[in-house]
């Protein structure tokens, strides 16, 4: 049953949830300006220092489906506060750190905070009036890009002008503010799932994801043909197959695979993997292109802070287009928004081939790509929520967030291989070649076209639903009314 708050409070709820999403998203780029200096700062090797990034990735991937299911069972607002608390604790662990171990532990705890975004979207479904739900979810989805865009220049500025520990004291303060606003303004949803938490399913999924994402993230360091890399890929296949068999037999599974196999959810999740790849590929190509020396003939000679400022408008573009994406979804269905987003991303990468020679060109093509991502990210929660039972909303959104994480991890591995193997020499240093950047842009365009083709396999909507971005009329789960208020 709907628990919509008074209309005058809806904007505050959406603003608080989106702000919390931006806060946790900042964690993704928090240490990027420190990457070259991390080995020295943490008194370790470069390979070991990279765990400060890998730990956040792995923790976020594990956390999103698990915390989503816990939210469905025990209260989404409660788990939202738990996620914010993990972010704060992780920041406080990292803030005084001068060695690798506490940094990795703290960064992993920060990664658990990423459950805020799927939980926030699910709370919106339960408490925001239907007429405003489409735009609210679009804003929440765009917080992922906005946080990354704002985090990079802000982190670079702090790293250049102040003690680097201030980054984590600041992130802890932001987490405290987000938690306080959630307590004050965000109501708890009355929608709960039945059954008990599937502990075995959570452990199995966590083990399978770690075995999958760890070699994807570290394969470049370990060697793609090494025994450890291959062994972990094989282990992930075995563990995830056993996990799937358990979930199919469990009366209250962590992830309802039968629901996830419904065509709207399955194809949307597949599209999310590919869109996640296309989004992250840009964030790997453009900073390096901006920062390479001008003497290379294709580098643009920007500092880390300047590069972050040139990239920031692209992230803000995601939020700027979210109202238009919501309107398009309301008029034509979220499938159309997702399809348009994929095509816009492909066009942005194609523009990159022509415009990569100047900073204004990079600004233009990265903004076009981000606009496409904004349309796509606004549509994906709408498609998932329209097909998932209302009692499984947070878990379904958590799984969709996981699919995006798999896409971004795969992009990191693929683009890393391309840029590491297509190189040229600048004095004693080996750097990515211009051809490597162009191949990266071509891959991004191709992946976006593939995403558009996947979207075509999502069942369409026969007619638009005025004032809503959710395709509830045709794709409501079997046995449930189409109108969420009736449910």
Structure confidence by residue, pLDDT tens digits, 47-69: 788 888 888 888 888 888 888 88
Question: pLDDT tens across 410-429, in order?
Answer: 888 888 888 888 888 888 87
Task: Lowest mean pLDDT of 49-53, 142-146, 331-335, 463-467, name the range.
Answer: 463-467
Average of per-residue pLDDT across 250-263: 86
pLDDT value of position 461? 54
For the chain, what are the domain ranges? 7-198+252-475, 199-251
pLDDT value of position 368? 95
pLDDT value of position 5? 54
pLDDT tier at 473, thresholds 50, 70, 90: very low
pLDDT value of position 486? 32
Task: Lowest mean pLDDT of 9-18, 197-206, 242-251, 455-464, name the range.
Answer: 455-464
pLDDT value of position 235? 96
Specify the pTM: 0.82
Quote the DSSP letter at residue 36: G
Identity of the highest mean pLDDT range in 154-158, 173-177, 424-428, 464-468: 173-177
Average of per-residue pLDDT across 84-97: 94
- Whether residue 237 contacts residue 209, with contact meaning beta carbons closer than 8 Å, is answered with no
For the chain, count helices (H), then strands (E).
Answer: 19, 2
DSSP characters over 277-326: HHHHHHHHHHHHHHHS-GGGSS-----HHHHHHHHHHHHHHHHHHHHHHH
pLDDT of 293 strictly over 50:
yes
Mapped onto helix, strand or coil, the DSSP state of residue 375 is helix
pLDDT tier at 443, thresholds 50, 70, 90: very high
pLDDT of 479 strictly over 60:
no
pLDDT tier at 162, thresholds 50, 70, 90: confident
DSSP characters over 186-246: PPPP-----S---HHHHHHHHHHHHHHHHHHHHHHHH-TTSHHHHHHHHHHHHHHHHHHHH
Average of per-residue pLDDT across 345-355: 95
Class of domain 7-198+252-475: mainly alpha
Average of per-residue pLDDT across 187-216: 87
pLDDT of 152 strictly over 60:
yes
More confident residue, 391 or 327: 327
Length of the chain: 487
pLDDT value of position 108? 92
More confident residue, 355 or 131: 355
pLDDT tier at 364, thresholds 50, 70, 90: very high
Of the chain, the end-to-end C-alpha distance in Å amounts to 6
What does the mean pLDDT of the chain come to? 84
pLDDT value of position 460? 67
pLDDT value of position 391? 67
């Amino acid at each position: 049953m709907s628990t919509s708050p008074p209309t005058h409070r809806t904007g505050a709820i959406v603003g608080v949830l989106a702000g919390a999403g931006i806060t946790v998203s900042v964690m993704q780029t928090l240490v990027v300006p420190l990457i070259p200096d991390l080995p020295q700062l943490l008194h370790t090797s470069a390979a070991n220092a990279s765990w400060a990034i890998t730990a956040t990735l792995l923790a976020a991937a594990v956390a999103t489906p698990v915390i989503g299911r816990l939210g469905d069972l025990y209260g989404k607002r409660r788990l939202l506060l738990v996620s914010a608390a993990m972010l704060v604790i992780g920041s406080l662990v990292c803030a005084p750190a001068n060695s690798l171990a506490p940094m990795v532990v703290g960064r992993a705890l920060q990664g658990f905070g990423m459950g805020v975004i799927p939980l926030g979207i699910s709370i919106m479904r339960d408490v925001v009036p239907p007429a405003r739900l489409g735009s609210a979810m679009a804003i929440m989805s765009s917080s992922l890009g906005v946080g990354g865009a704002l985090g990079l220049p802000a982190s670079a500025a702090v790293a250049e002008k102040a003690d680097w520990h201030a980054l984590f004291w600041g992130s802890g303060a932001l987490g405290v503010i987000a938690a306080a606003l959630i307590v004050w303004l965000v109501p708890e949803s009355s929608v709960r799932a039945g059954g008990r938490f599937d502990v075995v399913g959570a452990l199995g999924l966590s083990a399978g994801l770690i075995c999958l994402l760890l070699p994807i993230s570290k394969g470049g360091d370990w060697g793609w043909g090494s025994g450890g890399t291959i062994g972990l890929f094989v282990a992930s296949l075995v563990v995830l197959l056993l996990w799937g068999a358990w979930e199919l037999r469990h009366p209250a599974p962590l992830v309802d695979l039968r629901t996830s196999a419904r065509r709207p959810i399955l194809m949307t999740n597949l599209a999310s993997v590919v869109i996640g790849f296309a989004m992250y590929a840009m964030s790997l190509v453009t900073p390096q292109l901006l920062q390479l020396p001008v003497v290379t003939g294709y580098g643009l000679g920007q500092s880390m802070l300047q590069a972050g400022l040139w990239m920031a408008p692209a992230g803000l573009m995601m939020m700027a287009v979210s109202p238009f994406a919501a309107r398009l979804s309301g008029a034509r269905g979220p499938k159309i928004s997702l399809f348009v987003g994929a095509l816009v991303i492909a066009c942005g990468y194609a523009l990159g081939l022509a415009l990569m020679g100047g900073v204004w060109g990079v600004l233009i093509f990265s903004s076009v790509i981000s606009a496409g991502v904004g349309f796509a990210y606004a549509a994906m929660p709408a498609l998932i929520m329209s097909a998932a039972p209302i009692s499984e909303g947070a878990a379904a959104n958590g799984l969709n967030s996981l699919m995006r994480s798999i896409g971004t991890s795969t992009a990191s591995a693929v683009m890393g291989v391309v840029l590491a193997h297509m190189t040229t020499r600048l004095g004693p240093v080996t750097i990515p070649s211009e051809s490597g950047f162009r191949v990266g842009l071509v891959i991004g365009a191709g992946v976006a076209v593939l995403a558009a083709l996947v979207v075509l396999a999502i069942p369409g909507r026969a007619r638009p639903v005025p004032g809503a971005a959710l395709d509830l009329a045709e794709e409501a789960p079997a046995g449930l009314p189409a109108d969420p208020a009736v449910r």
